[in-house]
Structure 1
Amino acid sequence: MSQPLILTLRLDVASEKLLTSLRTRFFPSHRNYLSAHITLFHVLPAVHLPLYNTYLTDIASREHDFTIGLKSPFLLGKKGVAINIASFKLRNLHEEILNGLQKNDVELTEQDKTRLRPHVTVQNKVGEEEARKTMDVLSAEWVEKAGKAEGFSLWRYEIGGEWTFLRDFDFKRISS
């Protein structure tokens, strides 16, 4: 069986740098393989890679980059902390992709079939006390801000937890 694929939303450089600095600060270093990201689909069957390439190229080619809200931190259960992401546009894009995958008989996990709750994980797999301390620190320090969504990234999940980058699907840029 080939390893599953993961689809993420790619952020602008400044937002990714800021959120990655939080991951570097709070995420257990032996588990922190990645820069900041927003996971859209966690387990996509690799057998459909040609479909994903075609489908995501089509969607990205007609979309412009768009603003997202980097909102307040919240507890991820009792073992971590994340930054909430607000964007109606992102939720609509996720629904469009989900519907397209289901129409093409892509077998999805229950997690990937549910409504998107976009967030950036800045800490995970720690104890409840450490997560609460991190939440207290971030609640005092964090200031909500705007970021940009610039495209999708497709990854392969490797045995051991690392991700291998496969491809970006860029949105059209809106001139500033």
Structure 2
Amino acid sequence: MEKTTESEQIKQIIRENIEHFFNKATLNIEITEIDSLTTQDAKEHFYVVRLFSPQAHLLIGRHGSILYDIQSLLSKIISKQLGFFVALDLDINHYKSEKERYLKDLARRVAEEVSLTGKEKALFAMPPFDRRIIHLELAHRNDVSTESIGEAENRKVVIKPLFKQENQ
């Protein structure tokens, strides 16, 4: 089977499963885009699915928890149907992309403050996928480091200076 044909078939199966899932849940969604991020030699299949829904608040949940649960469930359903692993990244009404932009901006602003003051700063508690965005955004910097502290839903990222200010 040709790779582009296989990708189109997978996209169609993803579309059908997502539409069926939300129809059964009596929730209105529109699939606006399905993108394959799978490379030709990849063993895993990764698809980004962008959705629009007037009921987004019901689908996202606190800190995106419902959205991530739906994403995980649909990935398992589709993977079982296809016989190989398919990772999905669902984004409803641009929630994830806007949140990622906000978290990256927050990470940069706080890192600048920490670098200038020489004092570490803890961010608010956040789920693992959000903490990962912070860690990755600041990983390239040579003036600050990041560390996750706390337990369970109280885990947060602490941004620390690598060099203390002289006049502190």
Query: Considering the TM-score relative to the shorter chain, is it more than 0.5?
Result: no
Q: TM-score, normalised by structure 2?
A: 0.30
Ranked by relative contact order (alpha carbons within 8 Å, sequence separation 6 or more), the top structure is 1
Bigger strand share: 1
Bigger helix share: 2
